[in-house]
Structure 1
Amino acid sequence: MLKMLALDRFTVLLFVMVILASFFPVYGKSADIFGVITTAAIAILFFLHGAKLSREAVIEGIMHWKMHALVFTFTFALFPVLGLLAKPILVPMLGQELYWGFLFMCFLPSTVQSSIAFTSVAQGNVAGAICSASFSNLIGMFITPVLVSFFILGQSDHGFDPTASIIQITLLLLIPFILGQILRPYVLPYMQKMPSIVKAFDQGSILMVVYGAFSSAVVAGLWHQVSGKTLILLIIVCSVLLTLIMLLTLYIPRWMGFNRADQKAIFFCGSKKTLASGVPMAQILFIGQPLGMIVLPIMIFHQIQLMVCGVIANYWAKQSAGADQE
């Protein structure tokens, strides 16, 4: 049952970090030092992401521009529109800060690793998924700050300069990613020899960010602001959004005439949001804001999407296996 629900070690550790931060938060000078270490870890993480990405697969996938345009539309148009339309309902229900977090989640790019993994399991267009998910993350480094500027921080009392945030995101995420691509022939062989270490660093850096974000939030009184009832409502809201998006990403590609393999890639790339890029972006974009409240929706949505996509990918894999046998 746990395997079916995709409750892997990383998911469990995410909850452990939240619990650890709730009882033993890092603060003061220790938090400053921890923040510097976390920033360095995130830069290395995106360097490794760049080194892992196959140029051949990207070149093969990039030719399928119609599929990428549709995934882009789901990720950066449909998600934000639904998030904005839900404001009259969600602000009274969740409060302003959690709604900001929900809207920020809607502005984020798609996931990379899980989108590709689920597409592969379901026997979809893997090359197309690699290109769509990677392009989403790269363009998201520029689009997400602009959307946040107009629709979140631009509506608050805090001044916000999207240009400065884009520069910070470029330095922290994009440049390491590009360096990883350039040095891929030299770095990848070592990564392939140590996959467990690479995976541990990949997940560990995100866990560090989550622990740091929730530590600062707990020190600021997060759990006095978010009740059990509000948490349950947030889970329901994220589930409803995911259900609606998945129905649209399932039926619109069919209506547009995409083949079965492309439909699977569009479904997995267009319905998900990234935690790996989202939390580092939140650290840069929401300086001085209640960061724990901001990242809580993406953490919840991330887990729900993994569980649901895990079940669907396995179901489609069995369907494909049955069709092959026939």
Structure 2
Amino acid sequence: MKRLPIDPYIALMLGVVALASLLPASGQGAVAAGLAAKLAIAFLFFLYGARLSPQAAFAGLRHWRLHTAVLLSTYALFPLLGLAVGLLVPGVLSEPLYAGILFLCVLPSTVQSSIAFTSIAQGNVAAALCAASASNLLGIFVTPALVALLLHTQSGGFSFDILFDIVLQLLAPFVAGQLLRPLIGAFVLKHKKGLGLLDRGSILLVIYVAFSAGVASGIWHRLALADLAVLVLLCAVLLGLVLAVTTLVSRYVLRFPVEDEIVLIFCGSKKSLASGLPMASVLFAGPQVGMIVLPIMLFHQIQLMVCAGLARRYSLRALTAQDAAALAVQADETDFDVEPQAEQVGARIG
């Protein structure tokens, strides 16, 4: 599966969607699957709490301009662009898919992929860890609040039932994980790979339950191929706009060094699938969940492909700078002409 031009985990998700389409949970099976999904969501956020170091989340506050820029991109720029997409409703985009776009726009950033791409691009990894961790920590509170503000017509308002579900399924397990972190933190890190499989398996279960409910309500009869194409295009445009804005702001407004520019671009443009799917199951009831999580599934794959290419370009640029510096040192230490070597370096990298 690693040879496929698609993230293997996305391929598994698509397989689960196909399974839910052919064999949706129904009757008592749907009740049991729904209960299992709720327990899986609680387990996910318990693991998030056990993994997240408070020191890592709040360390490096000296980079407050960078962290503020990342949070503004995640929780201000994205929602504003999502509201602008509302101009396409109902002529181009249906209301349920628009709700999914808005939900995508209020999600926190990713942690693992943001740090991984920052590392590949030779960026400030420590700052990326702080920024992504802070985004996810705040997301437990900010995302539901923004859903209540922007999606009140679709979600039925921010009722006490929704608040109770958030506390019970998201916040309480997260706090429990944080409290138990001194006791189980080493175990979680030691068995990171195995727990990661359970982590991802839980998300697949959430997808199955969400799309089973959607299939029961006729989701595929309401989603045409043209709607899917429009959704893919909107996700790509949304990502492109955020990447462009974060790049311009970093270079010409905040004048960050390239290492911090990389952090803003990768942490500020990502949206977390791992947090989004469980949150959707808590915040949205009934068959609409399937339509709402579809944009984040598509956006996740697009952001992985695009950011992988960007990380490679930044990495090559860093190699070019290192080679140029080495040539400069050589020029100071010798009398040889280094211009032909510089041309060779440029040809090899470019």
Q: Offset at 1:3?
A: 6.3
| Residue 145 of structure 1 pairs with residue 141 of structure 2 | no
Following superposition, the deviation at residue 60 of structure 1 comes to: 2.7
Distance 1:18 1:167 in 2: 29
Q: Give 1:1-326 correspondences, 5 Å limit.
A: 7-153=6-152, 155-156=153-154, 159-162=156-159, 164-255=161-252, 256-288=254-286, 290-325=288-323, 326=326
**1:321 Cα deviation (Å)?**
3.2
Helix, strand or coil at the partner of 2:25: coil
Runs of 4+ displaced beyond 4 Å: 1-5
Residue pair 1:4, 1:310 contacting (<8 A) in 2 also: no
Percent identity, aligned pairs only, is 46
Quick check: 55-64 or 207-216, which moved more?
55-64
Structure with bigger gyration radius? 2
- Say if 1:75 and 1:270, in contact at 8 Å, map to a contact too: yes
TM-score normalised per structure 2: 0.86
Q: Distance in 1 between matches of 2:53 and 2:121?
A: 20
Equivalent AA in structure 1 for residue 64 of structure 2: W
SS of aligned partner of 1:119 = helix
Q: Tell me the distance in 1 between the aligned counterparts of 2:312 and 2:97.
A: 33
Check the 8 A contact 1:80/1:103 in 2, yes or no. yes
Q: 1:282–1:291: 8 Å Cα contact kept in structure 2?
A: yes
Q: Which amino acid aligns with 1:185?
A: P
Q: Which stretches in structure 1 are left out of the alignment for 5+ residues?
A: none
Cα distance in 2 between the residues matched to 1:187 and 1:224:
47
- 1:21 is displaced (CA, Å) by 1.0
Q: CA deviation at 1:133?
A: 1.5
How well do the aligned residues superpose, as a CA RMSD in angstroms?
A: 2.1
What CA distance in whole angstroms lies between the structure 1 residues aligned with 2:160 and 2:78?
A: 23
Tell me, yes or no, if the aligned pair for 1:213 and 1:291 is still in contact at 8 Å. Answer: yes
Q: What do residues 110-152 of structure 1 show as CA deviations (whole Å, max 9, x unaligned)?
A: 1122112211222212222222222222222222222222322
Contact in 2 for aligned 1:38/1:209 (Cα 8 Å): yes
Distance in 2 between residues matched to 1:28 and 1:168, nearest whole Å: 23
Q: Is the 8 A contact 1:61 1:129 kept in 2?
A: no
Superimposed CA distance per residue, residues 62-81 of structure 1 (whole angstroms, 9 cap, x where no aligned partner):
33211111111111111111
Cα deviation, residue 102, structure 1:
0.8
Question: Cα offset for 1:270?
Answer: 0.7
CA deviations 1:27-81 (Å, max 9, x no partner) are 2211111121122122222222222223443343333211111111111111111
Contact 2:108 / 2:139 at 8 angstroms: preserved in 1?
Answer: yes
C-alpha separation in 1, matches of 2:38 and 2:312 = 36
Aligned residues: 323
Contact 1:141-1:170 within 8 A present in 2 as well: no
> Looking at both structures, which has the greater relative contact order when contacts are Cα pairs under 8 Å and sequence separation is at least 6?
1
Measure, in 2, the Cα distance between the counterparts of 1:91 and 1:80: 19
- TM (norm. structure 1) is 0.92
State the 1:161 CA deviation.
2.5
CA distance in 2, matches of 1:162, 1:323: 55
- Aligned-partner Cα distance in 2 for 1:176–1:63: 30
1:49 maps to a residue whose letter is Y
| CA deviation profile, 1:278-317 (whole Å, cap 9, x unmatched) | 1111112211351111111111111111111122112222
Q: Distance in 2 between matches of 1:3 and 1:263?
A: 31
User: 1:140 and 1:318 mapped to 2: Cα distance?
Assistant: 33
| Structure 1 residues 33 and 152, CA gap change in structure 2 (3 angstroms) | same
Q: Residue 80 of structure 1 aligns to a residue in which SS?
A: helix
Work out the CA distance in 1 between the residues paired with 2:171 and 2:115: 20
Distance 1:174 1:121, change over 3 A: farther
Gaps of 5+ in 2: 327-350
Structure 1 residues 74-126: Cα deviation after superposition (integer angstroms, max 9, x where no partner): 11111111111221224321211111111111121111221122112222122
Q: Distance in 2 between matches of 1:139 and 1:15?
A: 29
Q: Identify the range of structure 1 (278-287 vs 141-150) with the bigger mean alpha-carbon deviation.
A: 141-150
Q: Quote the offset at 1:162 in angstroms.
A: 4.9
